[in-house]
Structure 1
Amino acid sequence: MNYKGILIILLLLLIFSFSVSAQYLEVALVSDIGGFGDNSYNEQLRESLIKAKQDFNLRLEFRESELMTDYQANINYFAENKFDLIWGTGFTMEQAVKEAAQMYPEINFVIFDGIVKEENVMSLTFREEEAAFLAGVIAALKTKSSTVAFIGGRETEIIKGYQRGFKTGVEAVNSEVEVINRYLGSFNDFSTAKRISEKLVSQNVDLIFYAAGPASKGIIDTALETDINLISLDAGDINLAPNNILTVIQKNTDYIVEQIIGSYYNDNYVNEIKEYGLVDNAFILAKNQTEDMLNQEILNKVEEYKQQFIAGEIEIRSSN
């Protein structure tokens, strides 16, 4: 082969390699009505996608929903513009994602913390009881009165899962610690949350783990007034009671986003209902707050019990 032929081949290889490297994945995220300043999963997912740009060639766009009626238009906007992967946040977006998936069958959608049974949707779900297990371990290690409590909003299957996981975690550490369970009957009843949490404090409870939605503000007010400890599921609560929230059990969005974007790049992406738990590194403790409120000895113990759970040495019973 002459010099000119070699030069042409090298030039073609250079052009090909440039075109491959220039390819990018178009990813969009639509918030629910909490918006991107919610200190919760809208914001977490946005930050995790931005971090993923360090490892992947992404074009990112975000749309914030002020009303639930915005969901469909925001999702459809990205579908009409042929984005590769469109994310929605939370179960309140299930119907909007379902309708968009039916209207745009060639587009892939991801719903975080929700289920949509369409062939072009990946549904990300979580074994919430395993997050609560970590809360129970921490509660048993931190209580001084040996009496702790769980407060749920409504008595749904998911919230009862939190109750079971919490009790399992407490009992794994110390079966003599009493666990009191209470339900508000609503996720919006601030006054009932305040009254029930005050009653629990009078019963010697010095730590409350809660899954009570907006009504949690009543529990937080009680903690501020009585100086008891709390374990939350919402990072936004830290700003309300920084000296009372021991930690927040969060979904590990950095890890999950990295896994899903990576699978898309590596051509092993599959639209399915995926369930994440402790074995998948799906739950983490809010870093800064945890480091401020829990010492390394306790954190080491939490990791020990987590590994025992992953190894199958501890199980969450359905009757807890």
Structure 2
Amino acid sequence: MKKVFKLSLVMLMATSVILAGCGNKNDGAKSDVKVGLVTDVGGVNDKSFNQSAWEALEALNKESGVEIKYLQSKANADYVPNLNQFVKGGYDLTWGIGFDLGDALLEVAKANPDAKLAIIDSVVDAPNVESVTFSENEGSFLVGVVAGLTTKTNKVAFIGGMKSPVITRFEVGFKAGVEAVNPEATVTNTYAGAYDKPDTGKSLAATLYDAGNDIIFPAAGATGNGVFNEAKSRNDAGGDKVWVIGVDKDQSIEFGDDVTLTSMIKRVDEAVKKVSQQVVDGTFKGGTTTVLGLKDNGVGLPETSKANVSEEILAKVEDFKKQIIDGKITVPSE
């Protein structure tokens, strides 16, 4: 465990990245509650789970007048100072978004037992922390079913950001879904080693598409944006159609139906909004862990999947979903 740095607020502000976001845009509601959010290195505009988390706080700001701000981490070394800036600044709740913040958030939580903290995608064992994780393997199984039944080449691929239990759940769930409906298909797995490198994502996608993979599922934060860019370039140039499966958000909204086959949604927004509202209501319970899966509507496919996925395939997806919820199918997680 890293040693806790006892820095003054002034020093913390000097060493952090630029503070963004404000709590002044609301519909007239006012609240004394202040909620801070620290992103991982993917950044708040990653078109993925950091963005979903911030959008949830923006919605809460409009509804309740809660003051909100975020700090965008540029490197892992920013995590503890950024979390401390909100805690020492008297914020009522401090969020850490992403598995990578787990150790830093535990450190800050132990050093500040009266502070309220929460984290997405990691379990932090502390009495003042609420942890929220997702059954990414279950949702990824379903988009794997779509990929396995849609591929024309019987070659599909997965691109992870960095190795972690969270990304592994995406990887193995996706592979299991493909194999469940198309045992002839091959699934190629590769890792970018970063969540904030769109150029790396684009390069990896080019190599995979050149190798005959016609569908790629990236779970890599902003790195995955490069996969979409490569796919769009290829489709615009003509030739064989290629697809991308979005992650965390309905990425067809950002990148369009012409390239987004479907998306594996994680309701990060709902989780962040729910826990933050608990602070407003005075019902926050630290020391708890919530796991959201298919049965909780915590993961799944968006309605926009109908644009590119046939009714027959979607019916098979629903059948598999029911079997998973009923316990007839156990999706691997590692």
Q: TM-score range by the shorter chain?
A: 0.7 to 0.9
1:244 CA drift (Å): 1.8
Query: Corresponding residue for 2:299?
Result: 283
Contact 1:154–1:183 (Cα < 8 Å) also in 2: no
Cα distance, 1:120 vs structure 2: 1.3
Residue number in structure 1 paired with 2:74:
67
Tell me the CA shift for residue 316 of structure 1.
2.0
When residues 269 and 117 of structure 1 are mapped into structure 2, their CA distance, relative to the original with a 3 A threshold, is: closer
Cα distance, 1:314 vs structure 2: 1.6
* Deviation sequence 1:207-230 (CA, Å, 0-9, x none): 232335666436852674242122
**Matched residue SS, 2:169:** helix
Shifted more, 211-220 versus 73-82: the winner is 211-220
Root-mean-square deviation (Å) = 3.6
Instruction: In structure 2, give the amino acid aligned to 1:77.
Output: Q
1:46 maps to which of 54, 59, 62: 54
Q: Give the aligned partner of residue 241 of structure 2.
A: 227
Asked if 1 retains the 8 angstrom alpha-carbon contact of 2:139 and 2:294, the reply is yes
Counterparts of 1:1-320 in structure 2 under 5 Å? 25-52=33-60, 57=64, 59-65=66-72, 67-68=74-75, 69-152=77-160, 157-172=165-180, 174-184=181-191, 186-187=193-194, 189=200, 193-194=204-205, 196-201=207-212, 205-212=213-220, 216=224, 217=226, 221=230, 224-225=233-234, 226-233=240-247, 235=249, 239=254, 243-261=258-276, 263-264=278-279, 265=281, 267=283, 269-286=285-302, 288=304, 290-295=305-310, 298-317=313-332
Task: State the AA in 2 paired with 1:271.
Answer: G
| Matching residue's letter, 1:163 | E
1:166 Cα deviation after fit: 1.5
Cα displacement string for residues 280-310 of structure 1 (whole angstroms, at most 9, x for unaligned residues): 221143555x354335554444233212211
- State the distance in 2 between where 1:97 and 1:313 align: 37
- Structure 1: how far apart are the matches of 2:140 and 2:202? 25
Cα gap change, 1:230/1:39 in structure 2, threshold over 3 Å: closer, same or farther?
A: closer
User: How many corresponding residue pairs?
Assistant: 293
Counterpart-to-counterpart distance in 1, 2:167 and 2:51: 23
Q: 1:49 to 1:175 in 2, by over 3 A?
A: same
Per-residue deviation, 1:99: 3.1
Distance 1:234 1:273 in 2: 20
Q: What residue is the counterpart of 1:15 in the other structure?
A: none
Q: 1:136 Cα shift?
A: 0.8
Deviation at 1:128? Answer: 2.3
Unaligned runs of 5+ in 2: 1-28, 235-239
Task: Report deviation, 1:105.
Answer: 0.9
Of the two structures, which has the highest relative contact order with CA contacts closer than 8 Å and spacing of 6 or more?
Answer: 2
CA separation of 1:199 and 1:50: change in aligned 2, threshold 3 A: closer
- Answer whether contact 2:38 2:97 (CA < 8 A) is retained: yes
SS of the residue corresponding to residue 100 of structure 1 reads helix
What is the CA-CA distance between 1:38 and the residue it aligns to?
2.6
Quote the offset at 1:129 in angstroms. 1.5
Distance 1:155 1:79 in 2: 29
SS of 1:250's partner is strand
8 Å contact 1:24–1:59 — kept in the other structure?
yes
SS of the aligned residue for 2:244 comes to: strand
Higher Cα radius of gyration: 1
Query: Deviations along 1:258-280, whole A, 9 cap, x unmatched?
Result: 44245553736242333322222
Larger helix percent: 1
Partner SS state of residue 233, structure 1: strand
Structure 2 distance, partners of 1:125, 1:171, is: 25
Percent identity among equivalent residues?
Answer: 30
Structure 2 letter corresponding to 1:119: P
Q: What are the Cα deviations for residues 151-172 of structure 1, in whole angstroms up to 9, with x where unaligned?
A: 4466655444333212322344
Q: Normalization by structure 2: what TM-score?
A: 0.71
1:300 & 1:128 partners in 2: Cα distance? 21
Distance 2:118 2:80 in 1: 14
Deviations 1:184-203 (A, max 9, x none): 574465586246403531xx
